[in-house]
Amino acid sequence: MVEETAKVIRVLNKALVVETKRLSACQTCSSSDGCGQKKLTSLWGNRVSELLIENPNGLEAQPGQHVVIGLNEQAILKASLLLYLLPLFSMIATAIMSYALELSEGWMIIISFTGLMIGFAFARWISSVFFALADYQPVLLRLAL
């Protein structure tokens, strides 16, 4: 279980609205002072996200209090594979198909790019279906100390 600390914004009936900050890995890196990657990530800053978290155990959380939320590692792995590999495989499949049809290089590029976009669209559609499942939702683990 991947855990993250979040701040409670609102308490709803059997749910909480929490706020998390997306931090880059640069903040914990020892060589971040001389790294160009840190300069790039500092352009966008740390983003704040609000999430609706179910509270099935009925933990007594108050607004402003910190809680620990978690997400299953298998869900993260499956989502990463879906969102990264499906568009890539779609692009490769359309490139092989256009090569087999002996199309010119320009058409191969256009068809491969179209396959990539179709893969992204299909991955987005699948993710909207699967990410609604309980396995892909963060859960409230405990109150933070």
- Rounded distance, CA 53 to CA 114, Å? 37
Q: Where are the domains of the chain?
A: 2-143
Average pLDDT over residues 3-10: 88
Written as six digits, the tokens of 136 are: 């892909």
Q: How far apart are CA 114 and CA 118, in angstroms?
A: 6
Residues ≥6 apart with Cβ < 8 Å to 51: 6, 17, 18, 19, 20, 69, 138
- Between strands 2-12 and 66-71, the pairing is antiparallel
User: Which helix (H) or strand (E) covers residue 115, if one does?
Assistant: helix 105-130
Residue 26 is predicted with a pLDDT of 57
Instruction: Indicate if the pLDDT at residue 112 is higher than 90.
Output: yes
If pLDDT is split at 50, 70 and 90, which confidence band does 114 have?
very high
Residue 110: pLDDT band with limits 50, 70, 90: very high
pTM value is 0.65
Tally of CB atoms within 10 A around 17: 15
What pLDDT score was predicted for residue 109? 96
Question: What average pLDDT does the segment 111-117 reach?
Answer: 97
